[in-house]
Amino acid sequence: MGRKPCCDKVGLKRGPWTIEEDHKLMNFILNNGIHCWRTVPKLAGLLRCGKSCRLRWINYLRPDLKRGGFSETEEDQIIQLHAQLGNRWSKIASHFPGRTDNEIKNHWNTRIKKKLKLLGIDPVTHKPIEQAEEKGNKVELNSSSKEESLEVKAQDDQGKKQEIQEPNLDETNDLLSNFEMMLGGNFDLEQWLEQETNTCSSHTSSFSLEESNSNNPSTMDDQFPSIQQDPLQQWVESVDSFLSWDCFNQLAEENIFLLGK
DNA sequence: AACCAAAGCAACCGCCCTTCC
DNA sequence: TGGAAGGGCGGTTGCTTTGGT
């Protein structure tokens, strides 16, 4: 008598998403917005469950995502927030615009946890590991990790103040509001593309458009030849999944989403 | 060059909470 | 007010990549 599954998994595709699936999902969401995740795969023509679509969008396709490694400052903040909130990753993620809970969780589990353990700090309680264990770690601490130890002490001191450095709220709000505007259907992609084509092509040598590259275009104008007719479609079909999203995200970092300003 | 182990990360699972009827 | 449905969240898995031998 278990709970009813979120969806009928029979006939549904699982595993890594293909570029085509990404395109379909992006295309659908950018055209229609998000109303009910359960209906998204059906309407978008995807053989995925709604949850899977939601996860893919939130963790990977969302245009306001910030990619790349975590900075020292971000790591510090994560540690402080974790000390206060525990494993409430979504709450922690809400302090990092453009970061997902999954990303932070992964980073915590793979790196920060180890770093803290190495420094003799229990990643769960954020207190020094018990004497016995601590002795074992001292050897390491005395050798290579001395600097890190001091760094963590500083973090600890900061934590005691119970003051967490707030993110740039203006930036966060701007990103969110523009993203909401986009989902609400008011996002003028055509205008955005017109404004930003040069920016994109200028700083993304890795910008790979395998599909549209058949003509070896040298500029974005060439890459989007019929942009005037159906810019969204052109854009979605032309992007090569995450490589192009790197470009997109880079633009987002440069406040390209602040169109409403 | 080949193999193995570790690390990193995307995706899935299942429970919990909220909303709606 | 209670039950069902849907979404959100945290934990876990498993595949891919990277580094070492």
Last residue of some domain: A125, A160, A195? A160
Q: Mean pLDDT: which of A4-18, A75-89, A170-184 is highest?
A: A75-89
Same domain, A53 and A120: no
Number of domains in chain A: 3
Nucleotides of C under 7 A from a protein CB: 5-12, 15-16
Which pLDDT tens digit goes with each residue over A77-135?
888 888 888 888 888 888 888 888 888 888 888 888 888 877 788 888 888 876 434 44
DSSP code per residue over A67-100: PSPPPHHHHHHHHHHHHHH-S-HHHHHTTSTT--
**How would residue A6 be classed by pLDDT, with cut points 50, 70 and 90?**
low
| A4 part of a folded domain | no
In the predicted structure, residue A61 carries a pLDDT above the cut 70: yes
Domain extent at residue A122: 72-160
Task: Indicate yes or no: strand B within 7 A of the C-beta of A14.
Answer: yes
Task: Indicate yes or no: strand B within 7 A of the C-beta of A21.
Answer: no
- Model pLDDT, residue A35: 80
Domain containing A83 — which CATH number? 1.10.10.60
pTM for this prediction? 0.62
- Residues in A 22-41 whose C-beta is less than 7 A from nucleic strand C are 36-38
Calculated CA dihedral for residues A33, A34, A40, A43, nearest 10 degrees: -30
- Model pLDDT, residue A10: 66
Same domain, A81 and A135: yes
Same domain, A27 and A100: no
